[in-house]
Structure 1
Amino acid sequence: MDRRKKEFKQSRRNFLKHTAFAASALPLSRSFQWPDIGKQPDGGRGVPLRWLGQPVSVIPRGITWGVPWEKGELGGADGLLLKADGANVIRAQHWVTARWPDGSVKWTAHVATLGREKVSKLILQRSTDAGETMEHSGMHVQQDSREITVDTGKARYVFSKTGQVLVKSISVETRTLATDGHLVLQWQNLPEAAEGEPLLTDSLRSEVSEVVVEHAGPVRTVVKAEGIHRSIKTGRALLPFTIRFYCYLNTAGVRMVHTLVYDADEYTDFIRGMGIRFAVPMADELHNRHVRFCSADGGVFAEAVRGLTGLRRDPGRAVREAQVAGKPTPPVAEFNPAVAKGLRYIPAFGDYTLCQTTPDGFDIRKRTAAGNGWIDSAYGHRSGGSGYIGGASGGIVFGIRNFWQSFPAQIDIRHAHTGVAELTLWLWSPSAPAMDLRFYHDGMGQDTYDRQLDALDVTYEDYEPGFGTPHGVARTSELEIWPMTETPAYADLVEIVRQIQDPPFLVCEPTHYERSGVFGKAFSAASAGNDAERAIETQLAFYVDYYKKQIEQHRWYGFWNYGDVMHTYDTDRHVWRYDVGGYAWDNSELSTDLWLWFYFLRSGRHDVYRMAEAMTRHTGEVDVHHIGRFAPLGSRHNVQHWGCSAKQLRISTVVNRRFFYYLTADERVGDLMREQIEGARSLKAIVPGRKVGQVASIDEDTVSMSFGTDWGALAAAWFTEWERTGNEQIKQRLINGMSTIGGQPRGFFTGTANMRLDNGMFETEERNTIMVSHLSAAFGLPEICAELIEAFDVPEFNDAWIRYCIAYNAGSEWQEQNLGEPLQRLNLAQGHSRLTAYAGWYLKNRALQKRAWTEFYAGGSGLKAEIPNVVTVGPPEVLSAREEALSVSTNAVAQWGLAAMQCLA
């Protein structure tokens, strides 16, 4: 047995001995086939870590984060230590998420529970003393054929393996604080009631198909549940779901990552409500039961089920103060006798609803019970989507992350005046209009390719009947439940809500990300060495700040929209072209995702990370078909995220997901990346360029692939899977593709060829003509090629790519002399300056490096090197005030940003 396999098996045994069952699984638990490499010393410097945004509070919380390493620096995750203030070892869990080609560690993931003490100066380093290693008592996990029990040391969670219930119970010590956690779905046959048409409704509940412990360790346990919503009346199944429960050592809260896939008929199925429901036992007297809702700006709505304040008769100061604070009131015998005698006449309000149906307003209503009227209780701007239900002796804090941003959302509390309250966290509010995902027009006679191309010429919308369907798109949401043994004080509740909405997170300094060499070395830590660099840094920051404002001013929010930005601005109407064909939602066009992620890595900005995180959650889920005819392809930019008939790998590309995965070890994004591995097979039926000349392969074993947007995306999926797992078959597919692209008569300028589905080899094209598209290198191809060239020794590929990088912007004279003919209809010259810069860096050619800067500053099909002029437009010309930079478009900003950062690098 080679040493790598032996180390892995020993590590696995050590890992599992801290759990209560032998069937638990580590991430990436298959045996690695990496070359043997010894551990290299790191000089003892370690990796400094810092908090993203505000530091973690005093409330303990589990945190998972990722750290990159230089090639050859680290042999494995064993022996890593997390230290605070240079000395104190903090209990943590570590594992490898990616490796360099030599087998050394490229990325590690880490878990720790932080917050009870004020933690500063955190550093991750390798232990040089065996005595330093901290023994983990670990979490206690048990399972049998019916359920899984996870005991964190602060709370106990029981998950059901079968039936309709996901969370059987949540307990602290001997007290059960929540039970019967299950998903709910409300369906109707029409978008709204219509005269003469019967409105049919139905209720569905979760039905579990599989529940497993996906990741078990001494500090973190992940339970993954899969299933579908099934009708109680008809048995019909709709909307498959996956929900992951994250439990951390010595914390009471559980984090839930909830994903649903849309498999309904958008013309006959209208989702009226969708959420997760818990039963909450209520043991306290009615006047010691409490409801709390929090606003996004830190305000708290606080009431008791039976209020004792404001009465005609004063129950006593001690009683009032205790109730307002959520603490147990004195015994009823100590109340003012007039109040004690009349308690039964004070209404007990058992039902509460908080509803956010727009990003700009929520309302709170309450009633005593069903059948009685609602009382308007409060109004606000934006809700924190969080609160508390329970008594002075305990209950649960709950929260939906990005609540108002993902409107319409709602929180219902029912029957709080009885022995068991019902809490429903609605991801889609049943008070809002039903979810209507029908295509937004009837086709307008576009029944032939000629008519569709004519329409494309006018509205930039690629339309084809049957293609603009939401079937297969997905949405991922995050929720949290925190069991409490008392009603939390206002300040504590607000702090928990802040953590739910902006979870504490650890990152490295930008200089460490740069030094590690990850992501093809396509970025550098922000610098300001001279006036030119300072000007670029200022302009980079301007564009990010401008889009932050545009998101807010134009309200780019909503359940299906949050995280995306718009494509192009309409200067006449002073709005983004939200209703014009292919100019509306951006859907990752020209690598918007990459622009934000690279800018975060070099700047370390908290707000940029949150923008990029939201975009990754959206573009990886909503803009991609995960099941059905179009899976796993993404949809080009459109009025609706799924509306365009151009279904392509360039949108679903793993290039856009890798950043978030490696920085967080997020399992759902790991799923999304693996979906893409066999993406080429979908191109057999859905030819990306079928309307503009690309011909489908007639051989069932091959598929027509462009070397740019198609193979570049596929190569990113394969490369990521290989560095995560060491899969030799995947590696060989990559090398086969690289060598046969390099072997084409025109290299990358051959443009398109047939690729074998089983091994990734391209057939050699007999034609000697040049094919070039400005889009080939606009969707992550330069970034992944840089990593491929560094990882593998395929000289013919290297030569072909460097030749492409030099030639694209070289000018017609050079092209004719070196290629035999000038390149035609080129575009995005400024964006392609980063290709010239890469070639100059690779060849150590100063002339090419200078040429890259010339191309960048020339601004061809891009932006000028200056801060755009910004004007403010207000009523009555527009509905509300907004800023306009008329020269700004998302395509240009994304490509300018990538070119600027890579030329600097």
Structure 2
Amino acid sequence: MEKRSLSRRDFVKQTGIFTAGLPVVSALPSSFTGMAVAEPVSLHWLDNKAPGFTAGVTWGVPWPRGTVKRDTGFVLQDGGREQVPVQSWPLATWPDGSLKWSAHAIGAGKGLTAGLELTPAKQGIVKGGVSVKEQADSILIDNGLLQCEIGRTGSAFIRSIKRNGKVSALSGKLVLQTQDAYGTEGEGVVTSEWYEGKIDKVTVEQTGPIRAVVKVEGRHTNAKERSWLPFVLRLYFYENSESVRIIHTIVYDGDEHKDFIRGLGLRFDVPLSGELTDRHIRFAGEGQGIFAEAVKGLTGLRRDPGKEVREAQVAGKATPAGDSLPDGVAPRLQYIPAFGDYTLFQPTPDAFEIRKRTREGYGWIQSAYGKRAAGTGYVGTPQGGLAFGIRNFWQSCPAQLDIRNAHTEMGQVTLWLWAPSAAPMDLRFYHDGMGQDTFAKQREGLEITYEDYEPGFGTPMGVARTSELQLWALPSTPSNEQLAGIAAYVQDPHNLTFAISQWEKAGVLGGSWNIPYTSSPEKEKIKEQLDFYFGYYQRQVEERHWYGFWNYGDVMHSYDQDRHVWRYDVGGFAWDNSELSTDLWLWYFYLHTGRKDVFRMAEAMTRHTGEVDVHHIGPFAPLGSRHNVQHWGCSAKQLRISTVANRRFYYYLTADERVGDLMHAEVDAAYTLRTIVPGRKVGQPVGDPQGEYAGVSFGTDWGSLAAAWLTEWERTGNTTAKDRLLNSMATIAAQPNGFFTGNAQMELASGKFLPEKKDKISVSHLSAVFGLPEICAELVALVDMPAFEKAWLQYCELYNASAEEQKAVLGRPLGKLNLRQSHSRLTAFAARRKKDKQLAERAWREFLGGEAGIRKFSDTLHTIGGPAVLNPISEADGISTNAVAQWGLAAMALLDYAGDHYING
């Protein structure tokens, strides 16, 4: 890219000339005077059936432009027209200041009906039982049932949890065990160290009255005062809920060659009292399976304490005091071993073990085995105790639950997100570079394995992982049925949502989805194919075991037909890392179907790709890593992977604060492009690290920035984000060849692009396959900027046009362009905006032609078993994730934009 020397004064002068006549930031209204009437919104549970119980629920709802004031209240009614107390707050606003997305929360056990209705109201004052009291060194939260003290300093982020005044848990801390070598032969002595999470900052984000949220930030610190591995915790409290929800995030900032994580977890002390025969241990296994024992057992003895005693202990109820037991038992209780320590260890997705011992220093006894544990346990007495669970427990293996010292007055529970019984976490790069010490050699490596390698770039520095946990302060030992229900809830919490028609009614996300069209067998076949592709990938997650702490939520990129495996070990063909908008495919498929299984898969992918595939600190922050054998392994660090376009759905549907943090972090992402230049290996110069400009492509770069700026503007009213967005739109439109200019230098502070030469034309097939079409469709509907719409429609219409049509407009043809099928949705969008039937029919020809995509529909699965493969697997014809994601997005767009213009391909 040619770098211009242009002073700020010259820049302002030139941009003032070529943007004349275009809408400027101040020209858009900041408030509205008229107000339409908003219709009530019907809500339903995600699985379309009312749950038996909830621990509190939060959800989001979109509203049509100009119908709901930002500060309006809401009334929630159940099927019997009884009012359900609801806490509400804004998530996003329209440019006119009206409410675009609202968030709502209800307390535990509320809204347990199949029919709920949400209505804007003049007065939204709602009473609730949650109170938050901020003190100098702590925060006290009372939700009407639980009382929790949160520390502002030290290591105990939860100092105590009480249920109606009785202590259930104390001294909640983060614990970390590390070692300075992996531990293989020849490494000599391996040194292990222990760390605890040390609190740096505590923020109360919500104060009730129905939902309270506290954010805790800090780092793990050892006895030598070394601090590393930043963490973020969010604690959620709902009115009258007996549980505390915890969202836990770590960001890796160590040396992967020296800082090997051996164990990573959350630890709590649990006060215990009474007879050891009344201390109860529970673990939830698979399905309804429960492992249930007492610290000191009264069953199976040579001398029988009696049926009633045995049944009481098995049920978790109080047994008679020792001296009240039969003569053959009472004087000999001291000889019954008390097992104080228990562990449930899930090393793989398909196996767990439970073991126990009397106490430290004595041998373990293997107690039970199973396949997939639900990751929930309990320790306590008939007078109460603590249940605890990790969501996606077996999916995020290796994981572990420990109960220690249950035979003493202070038991201990540790929820291990990385199990210390497993091998250490190994984040080192997987090869030595193979001599790729120049860009020329690296490009040759790209040619053979599709891996974009560069020394020093395959580092895990700055990648993150977010986990979800729950604590339950229970009044008594739960029955096996109750604990199984809690375990199921931890793994699959109940969500409220709205009918998919509300997307279109509200006009959010471009307002072009789920538009009715005349059905036909051909169109139904397309919908069936959409179902098939989703089902296939859902099945592949299971068959190929795409699980694990760092892997769960992602899918693979390409398939190796010869080995009958996905190319997990071949350079850039392994983990997908959002390549060609896999995330968007899933989210728009949910938008079209409302299916719970689609939501769950998209949710897992959002958690993964937003955390693991992105560098959150360090020199690459906040860019993401292109597809690779390791999620962070590729040297292509790009905005197209960290794009907010992939995160917005989950945020608006759930009001998830962690995803909100991730989206906010992308607002200034363009500054990193000065030093981490996407095109550095093909001659794009590295910019000035302190400079005011960066080279930004109008496709993958700007599309990602636009998503970040738009989302920040509508979420917070941030005028800097708004200015950058609108300035960038105006200065792209003012380029001599609009989007076909390809890229330009952008002033980072303002978002304005410098003008390029009149004859500059640059087109990449990747520009419009990472969220750009979706964001531009939304901007065209949102912002009244005719010049921008014209520039975007020109790109949409000409990308797949004939050489003659391209030359007539641009002065020369664009040459052979790739991904014609996926770009058919651009043609369809132009057809819809221009109301052009011929263009719509052309879009269908492009889609059905299948060029650089999927030509022939197929829902055939081939089952292959041993000895050809290790385990029985399913194969589908001609599957690649790139093709499926883009085919899916194009298919949905074609049906929406041009559903009534279908032609026989």
2-structure distance, mates of 1:326, 1:722: 54
Sort the Cα spacing of 1:697 and 1:578 in 2 relative to 1 into closer, same or farther, 3 A.
same
1-structure distance, mates of 2:740, 2:568: 36
Sort the Cα spacing of 1:116 and 1:799 in 2 relative to 1 into closer, same or farther, 3 A.
closer
Q: Is the 8 A contact 1:871 1:883 kept in 2?
A: yes
Q: CA deviation at 1:343?
A: 0.8
Sort the Cα spacing of 1:815 and 1:86 in 2 relative to 1 into closer, same or farther, 3 A.
farther
Counterpart check, 1:121 vs 2:112:
no
Q: Is the 8 A contact 2:499 2:594 kept in 1?
A: yes
**237, 246, 260: which one aligns with 2:250:** 260
Paired letter, 1:830: Q
Q: Secondary structure at the match of 2:577?
A: coil
Sort the Cα spacing of 1:445 and 1:289 in 2 relative to 1 into closer, same or farther, 3 A.
same
Paired letter, 1:304: A
* 1:40 aligned partner: 36
* 1:432 aligned partner: 422
Sort the Cα spacing of 1:182 and 1:856 in 2 relative to 1 into closer, same or farther, 3 A.
same
Aligned residues: 868
Paired letter, 2:864: V
Q: Deviations for 1:458-486, whole angstroms, at most 9, x for unmatched residues? A: 00000000000000000000000000110
Sort the Cα spacing of 1:196 and 1:143 in 2 relative to 1 into closer, same or farther, 3 A.
closer
**832, 848, 851: which one aligns with 1:857:** 848
1-structure distance, mates of 2:887, 2:111: 44
Q: CA deviation at 1:382?
A: 0.3
Q: Deviations for 1:360-398, whole angstroms, at most 9, x for unmatched residues? A: 100000000111110000000001000111111110110
* 2:763 aligned partner: 772
2-structure distance, mates of 1:902, 1:312: 72
1-structure distance, mates of 2:642, 2:154: 34
* 2:338 aligned partner: 348
2-structure distance, mates of 1:497, 1:34: 47
* Structure 1: runs of 5 or more not aligned: 1-31
2-structure distance, mates of 1:77, 1:611: 34
Counterpart check, 1:50 vs 2:44:
yes
* 1:866 aligned partner: 857
Q: Secondary structure at the match of 2:56?
A: strand
Q: CA deviation at 1:295?
A: 1.5
Q: Secondary structure at the match of 1:311?
A: coil
Q: Deviations for 1:174-224, whole angstroms, at most 9, x for unmatched residues? A: 311100000000010111143461111100001000112111221000011
1-structure distance, mates of 2:687, 2:320: 81
Q: Secondary structure at the match of 1:723?
A: helix
* 2:387 aligned partner: 397
Structure 2 counterparts to residues 434-833 of structure 1, below 5 A = 434-524=424-514, 529-697=519-687, 700-766=691-757, 768-833=759-824
Q: Secondary structure at the match of 1:755?
A: strand
Identify which range, 628-637 or 507-516, moves more after superposition. 507-516
Counterpart check, 1:838 vs 2:832:
no
Structure 2 counterparts to residues 151-190 of structure 1, below 5 A = 151-190=142-181
Q: Is the 8 A contact 2:828 2:839 kept in 1?
A: yes
Q: Is the 8 A contact 1:77 1:94 kept in 2?
A: no
Counterpart check, 1:199 vs 2:199:
no
Sort the Cα spacing of 1:873 and 1:173 in 2 relative to 1 into closer, same or farther, 3 A.
same
Q: Is the 8 A contact 2:181 2:187 kept in 1?
A: no
**TM superposition score normalised by structure 1:** 0.94
Q: CA deviation at 1:697?
A: 4.4
Paired letter, 2:401: I
Q: Deviations for 1:761-811, whole angstroms, at most 9, x for unmatched residues? A: 000012513210000000000111111122222222111110000001112
Once the two structures are aligned, what percentage of the paired residues are identical? 54
Q: CA deviation at 1:527?
A: 7.6
* 2:105 aligned partner: 111
Counterpart check, 1:139 vs 2:130:
yes
CA RMSD of aligned residues (A): 1.6
Counterpart check, 1:366 vs 2:356:
yes
2-structure distance, mates of 1:114, 1:529: 43
* 1:884 aligned partner: 875
Q: Is the 8 A contact 1:215 1:221 kept in 2?
A: yes
Q: Secondary structure at the match of 1:342?
A: helix
Q: Secondary structure at the match of 1:40?
A: coil
Q: Secondary structure at the match of 1:383?
A: coil
**197, 218, 228: which one aligns with 1:238:** 228
Q: Secondary structure at the match of 2:680?
A: coil
1-structure distance, mates of 2:126, 2:355: 51
Q: CA deviation at 1:248?
A: 0.4
Q: Is the 8 A contact 1:37 1:103 kept in 2?
A: no
Q: CA deviation at 1:58?
A: 3.5
Sort the Cα spacing of 1:526 and 1:269 in 2 relative to 1 into closer, same or farther, 3 A.
farther
* 1:320 aligned partner: 310
**356, 378, 381: which one aligns with 2:368:** 378
Paired letter, 1:551: V
2-structure distance, mates of 1:442, 1:196: 18
Paired letter, 1:40: A
2-structure distance, mates of 1:208, 1:315: 50
1-structure distance, mates of 2:29, 2:297: 66
Q: Is the 8 A contact 2:108 2:239 kept in 1?
A: no
Q: CA deviation at 1:566?
A: 0.2
Q: Secondary structure at the match of 1:242?
A: strand
Q: Is the 8 A contact 2:70 2:93 kept in 1?
A: no
Q: Is the 8 A contact 2:139 2:151 kept in 1?
A: yes
**TM superposition score normalised by structure 2:** 0.94
Sort the Cα spacing of 1:196 and 1:820 in 2 relative to 1 into closer, same or farther, 3 A.
closer
Q: Is the 8 A contact 1:744 1:765 kept in 2?
A: yes
2-structure distance, mates of 1:33, 1:667: 28
1-structure distance, mates of 2:111, 2:297: 37
Sort the Cα spacing of 1:266 and 1:840 in 2 relative to 1 into closer, same or farther, 3 A.
same
**277, 281, 304: which one aligns with 2:294:** 304
Q: Secondary structure at the match of 2:395?
A: helix
Q: Is the 8 A contact 1:259 1:477 kept in 2?
A: yes
* Structure 2: runs of 5 or more not aligned: 1-27, 897-905
Q: Deviations for 1:645-695, whole angstroms, at most 9, x for unmatched residues? A: 000000000000000000011000000001100000000000011112433
